[in-house]
């Protein structure tokens, strides 16, 4: 990647993220790179647990590359893409420190897999998975739903997101 490349956030219609990503990939041929962050969580339907892939930030798509006038004008013509996140008419670059945190969470398909955790009373021990690097940011574990509430910084704001976990019972 070019030294001037950066990460940017795009607002898209919620539920249309995959369609907009396909359009961007078609128009740009992979440069800039397009990413939709996803997570795997458990959901219960008719009494049966299923693992589902859900968007981490509904309504957002991320691009990584050089954002010049040519790219910007092509972005404006993509159906389903509302706008590029900007302040004072300047595109907002996602800070490298935030990208660094997220890069430890995602697998090769831009998905946050479940983490295995061991709960001993109030103590939480991450056995393996992407949350190992975020132990101190876990706010709460919902055993019933198999989810961890995690505090992350995104676009300069603290946000609470739910991530999937597998609860491992301690050996007795």
- pLDDT score recorded for residue 56: 85
- pLDDT score recorded for residue 135: 66
* Residues lower than pLDDT 70 in the chain: 1-3, 122, 135-136, 171-172
Q: What is the pTM of this model?
A: 0.76
Residues 6+ apart with CB under 8 A from 139: 149, 150, 151, 160
In angstroms, the Cα distances linking 139 to 144, 151, 155 are: 16, 7, 20
Are the CB atoms for 58 and 159 separated by under 8 Å? no
The full set of domains in the chain, from first to last, is 6-168 (3.30.70.940)
- pLDDT score recorded for residue 1: 47
């Amino acid at each position: 990647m070019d030294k001037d490349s950066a990460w940017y956030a795009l607002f898209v219609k919620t539920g249309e993220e995959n369609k907009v990503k396909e359009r961007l990939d078609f128009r740009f041929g992979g440069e800039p790179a397009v990413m939709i962050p996803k997570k795997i969580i458990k959901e219960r339907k008719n009494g049966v647990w299923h693992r589902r892939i859900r968007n981490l930030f509904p309504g957002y798509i991320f691009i990584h590359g050089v954002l010049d006038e040519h790219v910007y004008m092509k972005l404006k013509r993509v159906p389903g893409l509302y706008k590029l996140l900007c302040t004072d008419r300047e595109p907002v670059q996602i800070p490298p420190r935030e990208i660094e945190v997220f890069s430890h969470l995602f697998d090769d398909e831009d998905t946050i897999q479940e983490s295995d955790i061991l709960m001993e009373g109030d103590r939480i021990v991450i056995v393996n998975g992407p949350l190992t690097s975020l132990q101190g940011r876990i706010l709460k574990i919902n055993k019933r739903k198999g989810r961890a509430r995690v505090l992350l910084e995104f676009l300069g704001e603290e946000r609470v997101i739910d991530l999937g976990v597998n609860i491992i019972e301690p050996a007795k």
